[in-house]
Amino acid sequence: MSHTLSIPPVSGPIHGVVRPPGSKSITNRALVCSGLARGESLLTGVLDSEDTRVMVAGLAALGIPIQADWAASELRVQGSGGLIPAATATLDCRASGTTMRFLSAVCGLGHGSYRLDGTARMRKRPIDDLLGAMRSLGVDSEAQSEGGCPPVVIRSQGMQGGRVAVAGGTSSQFASGLSLVAPCTADGMEIEFAGELVSLPYLAMTRHVMEAFGGCCLVVNERTWRIAPSGYEGRRYAIEPDASAASYFTAAAAITGGTVRIEGLGRGSMQGDIGFCDALGAMGCTVTWDVDAVTVAGRAARGIEIDMNAISDTVPTLAVVALFATGPTAIRNVAHVRDKETDRISDLVRELRRLGADVEERPDGLTIWPAGERGPLHAARIRTYDDHRMAMSLSLAGLQVEGVEIDDPACVGKTFPGYWTTLGNVAGFPQPFPPAA
């Protein structure tokens, strides 16, 4: 694929049916549970992406055998029974936050020394809230970059478990990481979620996946989980399609006044980002729910004020939809997205302004005024900051604005390698799309 990708505007509403690839978040949680389980597991519908391949490689480096058939979206995992076979390992987590956070906790179960590192951006993403909780459980855990960021070094003689508090204001993945390993400790854990909590639906997702593999998690109250030392059992487990990936196509319908049906995801999905459809409904779209599908139709005609803390991965997507509504859209309570693959407030504001948008940045969010209210949108070459969600979300502006070009389009491989082909098919772009490099 070329270094820059031009997005062709569409001549009318987009209509289509999409079944997104498997959820990255569920795939990586299921990999941890199956890797620590007793016996073999078969994971079906898994996502083939950089993040999931990095998780597979990390577990393999810890001595957990995984047979991958990526073409069939299947992973066969030989569980370790809660043990970490490798006494030493160096793990390259690249840009995968779930891999860095979850496998740091997994290494705490081991008996030995482990080092986890990643990209330059990963070395700026804080992890010391998790490592501090692990230290309180007796695990020698150190973040070696300024600000409590990776590389991470774990020196462990096993993790006994017990009572522990973990802060949740930067990422829910810290609490999820501890929760995932808790069933494999001798005493289990009572985990208190301290301070502000962000992205709560991801914690609920963690619990659902744990329970599917036999983990026993008692929700004492909204801030306390009690997790028994039950271990996990291998099983066959099907991964849901990715609700975050679905958001780009429902947004395409909302921007163009079309109709897009998402298959494999209904109101009962365990993924919080399915709530993005409700946000589009509040903006004027018609949202129809079925048991295992959701359809979004019509234009997002009006701006809204919205707390997106629970669906924060979709902030860039809603911001682009807001460009084509009537009246401003104010997104709030998402300060934690500044610590994602890039600063998804400041960098998003910068790229929206590059398109000619009028945008106000706030510490915890942003306000977007629609195109035409304070000036027209125009052609722009969009920087993506090696952030898959910035690339996918901002590409949608090109459906209506001539001359939008996306830098580094291959960065979508982190979670959705087939994004450009799927978008091209749904939007009816000239084939082949993307064009050959």
Catalytically active residues are 313
Structure tokens at 256: 């163009």
- DSSP letter string over 265-304? --TT-S-GGGGHHHHHHHTT-EEEE-SSEEEEES---B--
φ, ψ dihedrals at 53, nearest 5°: -65, -35
Count of other CB atoms within 10 angstroms of residue 275? 19
Residues 6+ apart with CB under 8 A from 86: 61, 62, 63, 110, 112, 114
How far apart (Å, rounded) are the C-alpha atoms in residues 31 and 9? 39
Residues 6+ apart with CB under 8 A from 90: 61, 114, 115, 116, 117
Structure tokens at 212: 């599917």
On whether the CB atoms of residues 212 and 29 are closer than 8 A, the answer is no
Number of H helices, E strands in the chain: 12, 23
Helix (H) / strand (E) element for 12: namely none
Alpha helix (H) residue ranges in 87-213: 97-107, 128-136, 173-181, 200-212
> Which 3 state secondary structure label does DSSP give 403?
coil
DSSP-derived letter for residue 413 is G
